[in-house]
Structure 1
């Protein structure tokens, strides 16, 4: 096992170089890189940082170190520090950095020991701890440092990519529009709103939003033909009957409502697809393609039988051959089994200089052949994809079903099947 410093460096630095998750499990890296003792043992824990914060060893960095540099050198160093640490916490790196995510998971508020960050390879060149703290406090949007300057975390949550099944629904090409006079809204009003927006792009549908008691709100959802058209219209400055309209993409509106409800900001993105996959049409096994044989020569093989039948009669899809009984089944691509029996060449057919007995499989025998062939194939696939009992698991933890952990939307923005329609 590598030393504490090298384990941290390899995991986070390799992530930066390759933009791929490290191959070393986070649990091993964590136990190898992080120590329980903190160099500030006399101070009480900060109220903003729970006792569960992971602490690092004492000699990580000296907060009292003083370096002589010009103001220009200091500013240049601050830029490099900020750029490097913001990269560690960026949307590009953090979701794939198993080590940092393991550390974050140990603290309910997502704090990471700053001295641990300072031990990463590309951060070891910066020796002025106070300058590092000062620099990270100045991060405009991404980072924040606790009151004692001991821990750092992201200000904003890590957002996952929007899945394709959401982009395939109407929510992705619809906009939320607010600013209508709800006293005027009725069934005809929906047509008027659709007609109004048709001036700017083709409208598929518009509908007024209602409260639980059935009364109208002052907002609409308007669906367009594409996401691009909906986005373009949502960015316009429009008024309707002298009232200014506030518009945003419907998906953005739903995410905003999730955050207001105190849900995970990724709640909408984590929703499972409600569109059922189209079942593949049942393909009936062809009839008249199977020819049973027995009494082949002792040196006959699968390959020689297939080649001979292919050359003499037609394309062969599969040969099932048992060398113990010298018998088997020949499956042709086309239903030509009867033609083979009736062919003049049939009398001269030999497998290793022995004339076999052949007959066409029909009815129940034919069905049983296809059934068993399909069953054997499924069993092979099952064995190939089933992990052995000794197979290791990531971080020693078995994977849990994603469905069991899938968050449930509040009634306000819960999608209706098969569309992701929020209903407030």
Structure 2
């Protein structure tokens, strides 16, 4: 077997029947990669696009964990050609947004998104081995509770899930309704697989992360309980320098994942 044939076999996956529903799922996933919710914070995709006039190889996207099940790649190309926001190159090798995102405007809009974002902590995380499967399970879990835009799983520096999920809701009323239901003194109990979950606003979560900077804040145990009561570790100063805030936001995005590693 030649080296080319060996490489092709290592990168191949079992073909599936591209039904209309499968094609829809495939298109939805790729459109998310290029959306305002992911692309501005995805360094790999941004850098790849910047080097090629906005284009990203479809073969590269096909290697992402949540895309590996969509085979053959030729069918992925066919699905992408039906997109209203993405363009496929004539040779079928690359894809990009039809209308480039205003990255600066998107970053400015993150403050508004944070208002409709919560952190849900204390998920079981000790024995997680398949992040893609967990991601899908979290999307299904929160999708039954409210209308959501995205779900991100936070990881430790060792790349393991740390028990905290960041959820962005479709709009502010949906977020406020969720917070009213599952946070506060008279809140309903929110649980997953028998474990009680803790719900906090994104602002509360970021303040706590700042207060516990440098510690192993895993989203469970004693450090998680420091959210309750008077929050003794909460810093008094809530307004941070804008540049520092942007840097912290980028770091936060790197520690979270909506999709998967792109190794």
* TM band (smaller chain): 0.3 to 0.5
Larger RCO: 1 or 2 (CA < 8 Å, sep 6+)? 2
**Structure with the higher fraction of residues in helix conformation:** 2
Q: Normalised by the size of structure 1, how large is the TM-score?
A: 0.22
